[in-house]
């Protein structure tokens, strides 16, 4: 883990689980960043630096990830969401713009349903899992495809984080990610939602993002040209600009795909 200049880090114990919250920046805006399966908040660091120019950014490391102790049983997405909310409450964070990546999108969608007062909006970066490919083998193949579309620096972070996570914990969490019907969860969200994908992301095709947007009319869909699944690492500035722009049914932006 590389320390961002000016950041602080806190380890919390919530319901017997350990979470890490890294905080950087100051200002009127509040952001909470939630990572995907197997990894940690490390790949969010370039985006966190950009967002920190506008407000306070909190990077969450979920239990069992980023070298944190693994709980004694698998956690489902609702439990992850509850733990994030408890951490936010303990540290007096929020209401915040919740930014999730991959499985983190599913976690923040659950959080928005459990505690809508805690969030001002959702940004779904590469949301999983594509409704037409909800099986382990297909998702594994898509992950391999994406590996060769990411910069080496991202692959290095992902591989080392996967090693720290370990196959047992990864596989224990995988069913919750694959079989949650995100389209049903998004349909019930009552805060602005923006979906962002990399234009070369094999895991999250454009048609899937549009299906999610159709589930909640007014949701905004954007693409980051030339990027894969981890679009916010190499293109943090355009992603940050989209995070800051109005979106969703209560925002000013229209539904559409922006190449």
- The domain total for the chain is 1
Helix (H, G, I), strand (E, B) or coil at 237: helix
Q: Decide if 3 contacts 65 (C-beta within 8 A).
A: no
Q: Decide if 244 contacts 54 (C-beta within 8 A).
A: yes
Q: Residue 73: CB partners within 8 Å, gap ≥ 6?
A: none
Structural tokens at position 234: 């190499």
Residue 202 forms part of a structural domain: yes
| Closest C-alpha to 150, from 224, 233, 222, 209 | 233
Strand order, beta sheet including 17-24? 8-14, 17-24, 55-61, 29-34, 96-101, 119-125, 193-198, 220-224
Residue 36 forms part of a structural domain: yes
Say whether the peptide bond before residue 129 is cis (omega within 30 degrees of 0).
yes
Q: Residue 214: CB partners within 8 Å, gap ≥ 6?
A: none
**Angle at which helices 103-114 and 167-179 pack, to 10 degrees?**
60
* Mean pLDDT of all residues in 186-213: 96
- The 10s digit of each residue's pLDDT in 143-180 is 999 999 999 999 999 999 999 999 999 999 999 999 99
* Mean pLDDT of all residues in 107-126: 97
First-to-final CA distance of the chain: 32
- pLDDT of the residue at 94: 80
pTM: 0.93
- Per DSSP bridges, beta strands 96-101 and 29-34 are parallel
Residue 3 forms part of a structural domain: no
Residue 178 forms part of a structural domain: yes
Residue 253 has pLDDT above 70, yes or no: no
Q: Show the domain range for 120.
A: 8-244
Residue 251 forms part of a structural domain: no
- The 10s digit of each residue's pLDDT in 68-92 is 999 999 999 999 999 999 999 999 9
Q: Which residue has the higher pLDDT, 6 or 178?
A: 178
Q: Using 50, 70 and 90 to split pLDDT, how confident is the model at 5?
A: confident
Residue 59 forms part of a structural domain: yes
Residue 188 forms part of a structural domain: yes
Helix (H, G, I), strand (E, B) or coil at 56: strand
Q: Using 50, 70 and 90 to split pLDDT, how confident is the model at 245?
A: confident
Q: Residue 62: CB partners within 8 Å, gap ≥ 6?
A: 19, 34, 35, 68, 80, 83, 84, 107
- Per DSSP bridges, beta strands 8-14 and 17-24 are antiparallel
* Mean pLDDT of all residues in 206-221: 94
* Mean pLDDT of all residues in 186-204: 96
Q: Decide if 136 contacts 160 (C-beta within 8 A).
A: no
Residue 148 forms part of a structural domain: yes
Q: Which residue has the tokens 């599913």?
A: 106
- pLDDT of the residue at 248: 53
**How many CB atoms neighbour CB 29 within 10 A?**
18
Q: What is the CATH number of the domain that holds 181?
A: 3.40.50.1820
């Amino acid at each position: 883990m590389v320390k961002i200049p000016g950041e602080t880090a806190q380890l919390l114990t919530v319901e017997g689980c350990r979470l890490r919250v890294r905080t950087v920046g100051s200002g009127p805006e509040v952001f909470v960043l939630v990572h995907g399966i197997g990894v940690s908040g490390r790949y969010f660091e370039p985006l966190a630096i950009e967002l920190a120019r506008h407000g306070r950014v909190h990077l969450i490391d979920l239990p069992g990830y980023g070298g944190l102790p693994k709980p004694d049983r698998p956690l489902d997405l609702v439990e992850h969401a509850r733990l994030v909310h408890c951490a936010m409450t303990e540290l007096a964070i929020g209401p915040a713009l919740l930014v999730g990546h991959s499985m983190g999108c599913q976690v923040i969608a659950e959080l928005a349903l459990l505690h809508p007062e805690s969030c001002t909006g959702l940004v779904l970066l590469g949301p999983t899992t594509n409704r037409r490919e909800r099986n382990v083998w297909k998702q594994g193949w898509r992950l391999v495809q994406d590996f060769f579309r990411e910069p080496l620096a991202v692959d290095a972070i992902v591989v080392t984080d996967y090693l720290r996570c370990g196959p047992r914990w990864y596989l224990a969490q995988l069913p919750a990610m694959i079989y949650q019907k995100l389209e049903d969860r998004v349909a019930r969200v009552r805060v602005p939602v923006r979906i962002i994908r990399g234009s070369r992301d094999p895991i999250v095709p454009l048609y899937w993002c549009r299906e999610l947007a159709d589930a909640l009319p007014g949701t905004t869909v954007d693409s980051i040209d030339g990027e894969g699944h981890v679009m916010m690492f190499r293109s943090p500035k355009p992603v940050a600009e989209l995070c800051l722009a109005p979106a969703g049914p209560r925002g000013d932006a229209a539904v559409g795909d922006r190449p």
